[in-house]
Amino acid sequence: MEQPSLLVGTQDIPIESAWGAGSRLQRLRERAISVLLLAAGLISILTTIGIILSLLTETVGFFGRPEVSLREFFIGTRWTPQYAPPQQAFGIWPLINGTLLIAIGSAIVSLPIGVASAVYLSEYASDRARKTLKPLLEILAGIPTVVYGYFGITFITPLLQHFIPGLKVFNALAASIVVGVMIIPMVSSMSEDAMHAVPRALREAAYAMGATRLEVSTQVVLPAALSGVLASFILALSRAIGETMAVTMVAGQLAHITLDPRDSVMAMTAYIVNVSLGDTPFGSVEYQSIFAVGMVLFVITLGMNILSHRIVRRYREVYQ
């Protein structure tokens, strides 16, 4: 019995041989794709490890200096590494205070607006309005942060000075508003995606029981999407803590502890920029201090990202 064959040109090639060659080629392609994807993943992991090692090396060198005390770093309330030794101090809390003051202020601005816009886009807006408004809202996330900085200096601060006489040119209040506007797209987009993923059957069941649209939005959809909404809050706060240029331009360069948003403050990112752009000698205590501050910032943002993943797993609703 003759084996089935495939005519290629002037030669008869058995179908099994042609099929085997095609199968081998497909396996080679899949193998190549797997290797490329593995390489991409390894590059990401190695980059993260390199960042941690670079921070850790200089941070260890910073704490190894005789003039630096680990106890003073975590307990001290004065931060003046660029001063002469008698006035030199390495207490990190003024920088943490400025960073948290701006982050909390930005959260007060962004979270209500972001959630309200997400509820509108998910529950009230038509499909056409949603497809138009959501990309326009997300354009805010693509604006360079230096533009936000100039916006804060030339518009937000003068506007606030009109209502708050004596307000300083550089202040935490204007920085909080600017950063809050910056992170609105993150809160709105992630919250809206979480609400949009809630099954339609839950909405219809609530409407069938006589609930209004507002009651459905706030008492059915929002609780069902709670994990995604909370994750957007934490990631937005992490973004606010890590913001650099806008905070540097608007908040000022005064490292001190205060709870008054009208005062000028210095965030951790602002200090890193301030020292990096100056004539700081390589290997000096001022140079190594920016890595110590960067390590603290890295630990804070890493902790917030871990917390967001835990919240997502804890409050996630699974629907069939």
Report CA 108 to chain centroid distance, whole Å.
Answer: 17
Residues 284-288: what's their mean pLDDT?
Answer: 86
Q: So what's the pLDDT on residue 18?
A: 52
- Render the chain in DSSP notation, one character per residue: -PPPEEEETTEEEEHHHHHHHHHHHHHHHHHHHHHHHHHHHHHHHHHHHHHHHHHHHHHHHHHTSTT--HHHHHH---B-TTS-GGG--B--HHHHHHHHHHHHHHHHHHHHHHHHHHHIIIIIS-HHHHHHHHHHHHHHHHS-HHHHHHHIIIIIHHHHHHHSTT--SS-HHHHHHHHHHHHHHHHHHHHHHHHHTS-HHHHHHHHHTT--HHHHIIIIIHHHTHHHHHHHHHHHHHHHHT--HHHHHHH-S-------TTS----HHHHHHHHHTS-PPTTSHHHHHHHHHHHHHHHHHHHHHHHHHHHHHHH-----
Q: So what's the pLDDT on residue 225?
A: 87
Return d(Cα 233, Cα 230) in angstroms, integer. Answer: 5
Residue pLDDT, tens place only, 193-211: 888 888 888 888 988 988 8
Residues 37-44: what's their mean pLDDT?
Answer: 92
Return d(Cα 21, Cα 19) in angstroms, integer. Answer: 5
Q: So what's the pLDDT on residue 86?
A: 76
Angle subtended at Cα 243 by Cα 157 and Cα 197, rounded to the nearest 5 degrees: 105
Residues 105-114: what's their mean pLDDT?
Answer: 93
Q: So what's the pLDDT on residue 65?
A: 87
Return d(Cα 176, Cα 156) in angstroms, integer. Answer: 10
Looking at this protein, which amino acid is placed at residue 36? L
Closest of 77, 240, 83, 126 to residue 172, by C-alpha:
240
CA distances from 278 to 83, 149, 174, 286 (A): 14, 20, 25, 10
Residue pLDDT, tens place only, 235-252: 899 889 988 888 999 998
Tell me: pLDDT of 306 over 90: no
pTM of the model as a whole: 0.83
Residues 106-118: what's their mean pLDDT?
Answer: 92
Tell me: pLDDT of 282 over 90: no
Tell me: pLDDT of 6 over 70: no
| Backbone dihedral region for residue 166 (phi beyond 0: left; psi -120 to 50: alpha; all else: beta) | left
Q: So what's the pLDDT on residue 21?
A: 61
Closest of 247, 277, 85, 273 to residue 173, by C-alpha:
247
Residue pLDDT, tens place only, 157-172: 999 999 998 888 899 9
Looking at this protein, which amino acid is placed at residue 294? G
Return d(Cα 197, Cα 290) in angstroms, integer. Answer: 42
Tell me: pLDDT of 141 over 50: yes
Average pLDDT, the chain: 86
The burial class, CB within 10 Å (0-12 / 13-18 / 19+), for 176 is buried
Q: How confident is the model at residue 304 (pLDDT cuts 50, 70, 90)?
A: confident
% the chain with pLDDT above 90: 34
Return d(Cα 182, Cα 188) in angstroms, integer. Answer: 11
Tell me: pLDDT of 1 over 50: no
Quote the tokens at residue 293.
Answer: 């501050």
